[in-house]
Amino acid sequence: MSQNVTDLQTAAAEQQAEENTAARARVGATRLLRTLLRNGKALAGLSILLAFIALALLAPVFFPGDPARITSAGASAPSLEHWLGTTTKGQDVLGLTLWGARSSLFVGFAAGILSTVIGVLVGLSGAYFGKGLDDLLSLATNVFLLVPGLPLLVILAAFMPPGLGTVIVVLTITGWAGSARVMRSQAMSIRGKDYVAAAQVSGERPLRIMTREILPNMASVVMTTLLGCIIGSIGAQAGLEFLGLGDVSTISWGTNLFWATSDGSLMLGQWWIFVPSGLAIALVAFALALCNYAVDEITNPRLRRPKHATKSTAATTVARKEGK
């Protein structure tokens, strides 16, 4: 009977604590969001990103039907009818670019999120449990970090059956190690903090300590890693598909560029066929990089740009005198 009561009490206390942490995390998240919106870089990056996502979602509205359908209007320069011109096969380039955004963004985000999740799992458990498990996981991480990514991508893609799923899996296999390393070093430093020791002494389960005590405190690092992983995935996917190793039948920015070269539009001087897709990749990557730098600046005040041009050591009077 008394056992049950204490159980209930602990359960209630646990729930209370859980709500507290959850509330704290929520406050932290809204504060981060508000600071992000006040930061110029973040605002610019988020706007570009949202614009691309909106265009990707609206692609079927603007260009209904199959954008890859071959028509007779082959290789015409940009005009009022086709804003970005047509390809050698007579497909509208703007339509291909908008439709391409769907699979490119999807694969980029999916592979980026997957790599980050694996990175968090490997890094956190390695840092928390330490010893043999940590040695093993660190070794695997370092090996994958060192093996050159693109050649490995090419080899994997060559052996696996083509398809969007393969591309995502392959990108995750080559992408997780970088995030795992960052996560491990961050989790290691938090692992040594007093409140983690307190949680252990109070008998909390390892999983709970990892998710409730350690993970929320490395939110900003997870964020920058995630953004970095998405940038990497979008670039790697484009490279893979450009080499013709992705799924050539889906429309994405990478396959658009693949067809542009295999149709010889570069040699024929048809710049309008290969410019839009590459520009789209660059804009999305740039937008994500902007968000990344914004998160960096918010969490590391030293990197913020000073209002006036100063010498590096101007904070000290000695330096100021010397400078003048």
> Which residues make up the interface to other proteins (CB under 8 A)?
139, 142-143, 145-152, 154-156, 158-161, 231, 235, 238-239, 242-245, 257, 261, 266-267, 269, 271, 274-275, 277-278, 281-283, 285-286, 289-290, 293, 302-303, 305-316, 318-319, 322
Determine phi and psi for 92, rounding to 5 degrees. -70, 125
Residue with token string 């040699």? 267
Q: Which is nearer to other proteins, 34 or 305 (CB)?
A: 305
Take residue 240 and report the two structure tokens written for it.
């893979």
Sign of CA dihedral 213, 216, 221, 226: positive
Number of neighbours of residue 139 by Cβ within 10 angstroms: 10
Nearest approach, Cβ of residue 44 and other proteins (Å): 10
Judge contact between 200 and 214, C-beta under 8 A: no
Distance of alpha carbon 242 from alpha carbon 163, whole angstroms: 14
Sign of CA dihedral 293, 299, 303, 305: positive
Judge contact between 281 and 238, C-beta under 8 A: yes
Q: Which is nearer to other proteins, 29 or 303 (CB)?
A: 303
**In 3D, which of 209, 146, 193 has the Cα closest to residue 18?**
209
Nearest approach, Cβ of residue 187 and other proteins (Å): 20
Nearest approach, Cβ of residue 211 and other proteins (Å): 30
Q: Which is nearer to other proteins, 178 or 210 (CB)?
A: 178
Q: Which is nearer to other proteins, 10 or 316 (CB)?
A: 316
Nearest approach, Cβ of residue 145 and other proteins (Å): 7
Nearest approach, Cβ of residue 73 and other proteins (Å): 23
Q: Which is nearer to other proteins, 220 or 261 (CB)?
A: 261
